[in-house]
Amino acid sequence: MNIICNGTQLSEALTRVIKALPVKKTIPILEGVKLSAYGNTLTLTATDTELAIQKTINADVKIEGEALVPGKLFGELIKKLSSEEQIEISFADDQNVVIKYMDSVTSIKAMKLRDYPPIQEFEYDVEFAMLQKDLKDMIIKTIFSAATDDVRPVLKGCLLELDGEEARCVALDGYRLAVAKKKLEMAIPYTSAIVPAKNLSEIYKLLEEDEEAAHISVCQKKIAVDLKHTKIISNLLSGSYMKYQSSIPTNFETTITISKDMLENCLERAYVMSRFEKSNLVKLDVKEGKLTISTNSEFGDINEVIAVFTEGKEVQMLFNSKFILDCLKVIDDEYVKIKFSTPTSPSVIVPVDGEKFLYMVLPLRNFSR
Amino acid sequence: MNIICNGTQLSEALTRVIKALPVKKTIPILEGVKLSAYGNTLTLTATDTELAIQKTINADVKIEGEALVPGKLFGELIKKLSSEEQIEISFADDQNVVIKYMDSVTSIKAMKLRDYPPIQEFEYDVEFAMLQKDLKDMIIKTIFSAATDDVRPVLKGCLLELDGEEARCVALDGYRLAVAKKKLEMAIPYTSAIVPAKNLSEIYKLLEEDEEAAHISVCQKKIAVDLKHTKIISNLLSGSYMKYQSSIPTNFETTITISKDMLENCLERAYVMSRFEKSNLVKLDVKEGKLTISTNSEFGDINEVIAVFTEGKEVQMLFNSKFILDCLKVIDDEYVKIKFSTPTSPSVIVPVDGEKFLYMVLPLRNFSR
């Protein structure tokens, strides 16, 4: 292998690819980044076997070939060469990858390429495109609700559902549920995939906030997200996801319309005061035209009043302030609706109009304690 | 106590003051921030007994008085109120500090004021002023060379020396030495003070990068830095500092003039390759007109050549790349001079002109190994 490429491009590509390197020390070979030089491109690949990230950049390929280098070391070294116009990379003696720039030479001991796991192309069952920014938005609006413990492994993933012209992303952990929806350009036969939240978070970071499309292919075991020069392949979680739709209540006794920012700021203060106890207990008290938020801990008390638009009965409920805060933090709307039924049933947070998101939060316990 | 103040001002002041709270849990009372309302100001004080930070803001004082609140909790709470125009703080019942904003009320359990250590004014031996940015620059250019271990406690401080019209800041840890100099507006009788690097680092963060002056007073045990509305008082380290000046060599066999950035970038790459071994060994080889920098580790080798202006003999020396890098990172000059004598004696890094800084670095070992 012998190529010449640009330092900035190589450094940027590496920064992205090494996100797929295993976080913990596992099998040594997985700590490598694979370089593949063919045609007029250099492709970089890293994988922890659950997630693979591939990035392709332009290169002047003199001799085609492949090499495997220690990923972290190579990444750090190239980062310090990111201002170089031209970097020559060659791998000729099966021992060392040689990097030349200006009058200087660096060589890195290569890793054994033949042991590296192949990134297989798969036969997809469904393929569709959506705007990168739409996919990004669906992920950020739901991922925080995925379970972090191992009680039900399937809940450590987010459910991606394609249903006609609608794409949905769903996450739930038994205490709360998040659903975000986007419209698709064309109708897709019903498809679902459970993507590990950990991998979805890496996909999120690679998506751009612009009008570019992401091409997504799904088969039973894998999902691939293709972003022009970047390809991400993630394993899917097996098992069946919860029938979440039936758990969302449809009848409510009380609905309030409230300024998102005012509620968020107020709950943040309540959280500061209550965060020393595990349940972050906060009391919401809805009376005609106002919401009173209160909390008390061994350090002090908070009592705040926010003017709201109320429909229905008065209600008092206890929540974990963090669960409501997590939702509010990712909502961009100026106002939201919160719907309550009985003090022991879940409440939901929805937009003032439409159905682009829905959050369901379980109350902490019966208020009559 | 009863006052009304501005949320942004209070929040900003608190953010600064709480830097003096103890990092580790020590005496509970020290976790408090003291509020003192007198005249038309509110003064906030925090101290870990080694360092005290006081910040004064304007306040509409209805009832003068003092209160002690849990610093971290109060700071976080006020941060979430930083957009409030008006915050009313009162302390009437000896139990709770009550904070009112808009229609809301928060109360925090107060701490026992009578147990809080007094911040005593001291009789200064010398008092002088220098630009905040000059003091800031002297600190950043030297503090990294202070010792971090306890072998010689006095070396965990930086030596501040005032000598006629010159102020000097010195730090050394037995492997390297840093000296930075600034001109003073007026001559000061010789004074020296050893300021703990930990505290100097907090002083650094409070200094502004502008033309404002810092008023500094020193006595035998303390240094006070007065920045208009912020006052910082630090204990000094007792004991005598090393006679550093005699350890700086004055005769050199070889001098090179080199681009600071090129050397820094090159050493950073060498550091990436050598950082797995403790000594970060790098070889500097000076021949007529060029410096070759090389390192080899179990992961690979680096060989870089930089064009330099050389005076004197050829020389080969071994260094810890980190020790040279630390100096280069804080130098703003385009070119620097490096002076070498024998392979076992220290080398120095100085500006091309003048004496505004001097770094001395010990070589790692005799090159003839």
Average pLDDT estimate for B198-211: 94
Question: Is residue A26 very low, low, confident or very high in pLDDT (cuts 50, 70, 90)?
Answer: confident
Looking at residue B33, its pLDDT comes to 98
Which residue, chain included where needed, has tokens 């009173």?
Answer: A292
Contact residues, chain B, for A298 at CB < 8 Å: 109
* Contact assignment for B273 to A103 by CB distance below 8 Å: no
> CA of B352 to nearest chain A CA: how many angstroms apart?
25
Query: Any long-range contacts for A115-122 (C-beta under 8 Å, 24+ apart)?
Result: A115/A29, A116/A29, A116/A32, A116/A34, A116/A68, A117/A29, A117/A30, A117/A47, A117/A49, A119/A45, A119/A47, A119/A52, A119/A54, A119/A233, A122/A217, A122/A219, A122/A221, A122/A222, A122/A224
* B209 DSSP assignment: S
> CA of A107 to nearest chain B CA: how many angstroms apart?
5
Looking at residue A275, its pLDDT comes to 80
Q: CB-based contact (8 Å) between A107 and chain B?
A: yes
- The answer to whether residue A367 scores a pLDDT higher than 50 is no
Contact residues, chain B, for A266 at CB < 8 Å: 104
Q: Are B138 and B167 in contact (CB under 8 A)?
A: yes
Question: Is residue B24 very low, low, confident or very high in pLDDT (cuts 50, 70, 90)?
Answer: confident
Sign of the CA dihedral with A91 first, then A97, A100, and A105 last? negative
User: Who among B80, B104, B305 is closest to A272 (CB)?
Assistant: B80
CATH architecture of B2-115: Roll (3.10)
pLDDT digits (tens, 9 = 90+) for B238-254: 999 999 999 999 999 99
One fold for both B126-246 and B249-361?
yes
Q: Are B304 and B284 in contact (CB under 8 A)?
A: no
Suggest the residue from A80, A95, A265, A277 to mutate for an interface test with chain B (most B CBs closer than 10 A): A80
Q: pTM to 2 decimals?
A: 0.90
* Contact assignment for A77 to B269 by CB distance below 8 Å: yes
Of B19, B5, B164, nearest to B81 by C-alpha is: B5
Looking at residue A170, its pLDDT comes to 98
> What residue segments make up the domains of chain A, in order of their start?
2-115, 126-246, 249-361
Looking at residue B25, its pLDDT comes to 83
Q: Are B335 and B346 in contact (CB under 8 A)?
A: no
* Contact assignment for B272 to A299 by CB distance below 8 Å: no
Suggest the residue from B84, B103, B274 to mutate for an interface test with chain A (most A CBs closer than 10 A): B103
Please enumerate in sequence order all residues whose Cβ is within 8 A of that of B94, keeping only pairs 6 or more positions apart, or say none.
Answer: B110
Nearest CA in chain A to B96: A300
Suggest the residue from A31, A69, A89, A104 to mutate for an interface test with chain B (most B CBs closer than 10 A): A104
Q: What is the DSSP string of B287-341?
A: ETTEEEEEEEETTEEEEEEEE-EEEE--EEEEEEHHHHHHHHHH---SEEEEEE-
Polymer length in residues for chain A: 369
pLDDT digits (tens, 9 = 90+) for A204-242: 999 999 889 999 999 999 999 999 899 999 999 999 999
The single-letter code of the amino acid at B76 is E
Q: CB-based contact (8 Å) between A80 and chain B?
A: yes
Count of C-beta atoms within a 10 Å radius of residue B345: 15
User: Who among A102, A108, A304 is closest to B104 (CB)?
Assistant: A304
CA distance B56 to B38: 10
Percent of chain B with pLDDT over 90: 88
- CB contacts under 8 A, A 256-275 vs B, are 265-266, 268-269, 272-273
CA distances from B315 to A362, B290, B292, B338, B351 (A): 73, 11, 11, 12, 21
> CA of B255 to nearest chain A CA: how many angstroms apart?
22
- The answer to whether residue B367 scores a pLDDT higher than 50 is no
The single-letter code of the amino acid at A315 is V
Contact residues, chain A, for B272 at CB < 8 Å: 73, 76-77, 80
Polymer length in residues for chain B: 369
CA distance B205 to B113: 28
> CA of A33 to nearest chain B CA: how many angstroms apart?
15
pLDDT digits (tens, 9 = 90+) for B34-77: 999 999 999 999 999 999 999 999 999 999 999 999 999 999 99
Average pLDDT estimate for A257-264: 97
User: Who among A107, A269, A303 is closest to B301 (CB)?
Assistant: A107
- The answer to whether residue B369 scores a pLDDT higher than 50 is no
Average pLDDT, chain A: 94
- The answer to whether residue A283 scores a pLDDT higher than 80 is yes
- The answer to whether residue B298 scores a pLDDT higher than 90 is no
> CA of A67 to nearest chain B CA: how many angstroms apart?
15
- CB contacts under 8 A, A 288-317 vs B, are 298-305
Looking at residue B120, its pLDDT comes to 81
Question: Is residue A366 very low, low, confident or very high in pLDDT (cuts 50, 70, 90)?
Answer: very low
* Contact assignment for B80 to A300 by CB distance below 8 Å: no
Kindly provide the ipTM of the predicted complex, given to two decimals. 0.85
Provide the CATH topology of domain A126-246.
Answer: DNA Polymerase III; Chain A, domain 2 (3.10.150)
Give the burial string for A206-228 (b: 16+ CB within 10 Å, else e): bbeeeeebbebbbbeebbbbbbe
H-only helix segments in chain B:
7-17, 71-79, 132-140, 197-206, 260-274, 321-330
- The answer to whether residue A243 scores a pLDDT higher than 70 is yes
pLDDT digits (tens, 9 = 90+) for A141-169: 999 999 999 999 999 999 999 999 999 99
Q: List the strands of the sheet with B126-131, edge to edge.
A: B65-70, B32-38, B41-47, B51-58, B230-235, B222-227, B213-218, B126-131
CA distance B286 to B255: 9
Q: Are A87 and A5 in contact (CB under 8 A)?
A: yes
The single-letter code of the amino acid at B272 is V
pLDDT digits (tens, 9 = 90+) for A316-340: 999 999 999 999 999 999 999 999 9
pLDDT digits (tens, 9 = 90+) for B323-350: 999 999 999 999 999 999 988 899 999 9
CATH 3.10.150.10 fits A249-361, yes or no: yes
> CA of B40 to nearest chain A CA: how many angstroms apart?
27
